[in-house]
Structure 1
């Protein structure tokens, strides 16, 4: 089975302080690349699937470097559009214990932010494609990016391509005069699979579980509380066949509990809950979940429980890997699903 998946969005240069240094302490920054949809593509390529990442990048050496990194990780870039001014950047300061991580964006007028509908030939992109994935980050960048994303969804719908989205609300990105609540409904209405975390549905659509305080989870989140959220999302977006919620209980910056639930309109499936006590890097955690979920739904057909379990285990492993990309194999994820948490040397 060689399913073909297309993802669309922005990839950025990631500049991170070494270890747990603060920005004000750092004398150097570690450079890599990352971005929601590119992270999903890398996961899928690692699992042996055909992953094609679509974006817009300038014609310069930094963009060439970025494309080479994607190729190194097995991601196809045949439909990357070249043009525009710059590659977006994000700066990362990794938190510890009671001090949270901090992200500073420098992505105004990046090439993808200045994209316009009509620039990408979506009929060509989606030829022989099984799945299209986008996130709420892309329409947050600019009206042009939102319009191009809507254009892609509409073409995918017309061509019978399964469409998934990660709601991925980022309050610091919606700066061009529109709110997520104004833009997102038209895009999400074209989705077959909807993913969100414990607060995305509330921030974007005002949909929330009863008696739940996201700021004070004490590391414990009851998946059953989110069945109402899933039902409300399905009622609002009747095209959706499955709604998935990731459940992060934040004890501190280094210690989280992690799980998820999946609702198919009839049954609420719940995953095992992992206790991640020594987080290496949680950036890209949700993307690694989405990559695992897409793989799971395409591989374990008619077995939503196993697909969910794969996604949660894959994302648990991502928390142990530095950088945005989840560099794990199917066998490593499946070993964790079977309960192998020993961390013994494999030799």
Structure 2
């Protein structure tokens, strides 16, 4: 098993029932999740030795988080205890043409107050093969901007492969704040997850020629990113078409060595829960990279992992490598006997 480390905040998710607005709700369903935690759970389900670095309060919610991670065989050795509260968010699920809405309640959370001297990254990265973090983490506080940069630098010093998912959230910070921060982090990144809007509005890359195909535009943006940051070896994203809140199409994109590889276009009908779909995709990409999958096989696996995530409730993906591979090879709707 390969040691993989993720750094981020795990949140209490409070969801309303379908067809109910948040302000109407008189009961909420509890789950735990967060971008890097979701990636950790997926990679653990894929058979890797995964460690989650975070901070949670020393109260029953912090205990619940630790139990949740351990139930998925994610190691909590580097889970710091302290601070006043667990960050949370409220999810109002979209229906038909109405989009889902997220309301954050995470300011001054235990994780947002985490300081650089509370984590021994020499110990954390000992024997590690891969480190993953997302742009959500540095968006939460000045402390975490410094911590994210330190973590990436330390990982590179230790020869650890680094992964960074832009995961831009407009409710957490501005595009300019994200741009200023990401440009300090990207020189230490090997694997990057970002889309064409990130390239234009965060990295400031000129718009592609409008006459180009969608695929050639993406290849143009990714080539420009590699010109700016030649240390970046792999870039990935998805093309999503939203037909309604319950029906989307999804296609995966993977750029490496100057070539763009794409999955087939999957149609996802009757979406159960879209939250965490991007994290499932990221985990599939990372699994494929550390397992040296051929690029075409890798992008098919990662996209299939994301598609399957849409069929289960909660933030994290609950499928194994064999289940995802069987789905990718056999397609939907069949009975597995």
TM-score, normalization: structure 1? 0.92
Deviation track 1:319-338 (CA, whole Å, cap 9, x = no partner) reads: 11111000011111101211
Q: Which residue of 1 aligns with 2:150?
A: 151
| Structure 1 counterpart SS, 2:193 | strand
The partner residue of 1:188 within 183, 186, 189 is 186
What do residues 142-189 of structure 1 show as CA deviations (whole Å, max 9, x unaligned)?
1101100110000000000000011100011117x9711111111122
Q: Deviations over 1:275-328 (max 9, x none)?
A: 1121111111110001111111112x1612211111000001001111100001
The count of residues paired between Structure 1 and Structure 2 equals 335
Q: Deviations over 1:199-238 (max 9, x none)?
A: 33333213375367xxxxxxxx933331011111111111
Structure 2 gaps of 5+ residues are none
How far apart, CA to CA, are the structure 1 residues paired with 2:293 and 2:91? 39
Distance 1:44 1:33 in 2: 17
CA distance in 2, matches of 1:90, 1:256: 24
Distance 1:275 1:132 in 2: 31
**Match in the other structure for 1:318:** 309
Pairing of 1:103-252 with structure 2 (within 5 A): 103-174=102-173, 179-207=177-205, 210=208, 222-252=214-244
Looking at structure 2, the residues matched to 115 and 55 of structure 1 have their Cα atoms a distance apart, in angstroms, of 8
User: 1:91: Cα distance to partner?
Assistant: 0.3
Tell me the equivalent position of 2:273.
281
The Cα shift of 1:136 comes to 0.4
After TM superposition, give the deviation of residue 46 of structure 1 in Å.
0.8
Partner residue in 2 for 1:216 = none
Quote the residue 2:62 is aligned against: 63
Gaps of 5+ in 1: 213-220
Partner-residue secondary structure (3-state), 2:117: coil
**CA shift digits 1:245-266 (9 cap, x unpaired):** 2211122211111012111132
Q: Give the superposed CA RMSD.
A: 1.7
Aligned with 2:326 (options 320, 329, 335): 335
Instruction: Report SS of the residue matched to 2:30.
Output: strand
Task: State the distance in 1 between where 2:205 and 2:82 align.
Answer: 39
CA drift at 1:119: 1.8
Shift of the alpha carbon at 1:99? 0.2
Of 252, 263, 277, 2:255 maps to 263
- Rounded Cα–Cα distance in structure 2 between residues aligned with 1:200 and 1:284: 19
What is the Cα deviation at residue 51 of structure 1?
A: 0.9
Partner secondary structure for residue 299 of structure 2: helix
TM-score by length of 2: 0.95
Aligned to 1:93: 92
CA contact (8 A) 2:208 2:221 kept: no
- Report the secondary structure of 1:322's partner residue: coil
- Render the CA deviation track for 1:73-99: whole Å, top value 9, x for unaligned: 111110111111110000000001110
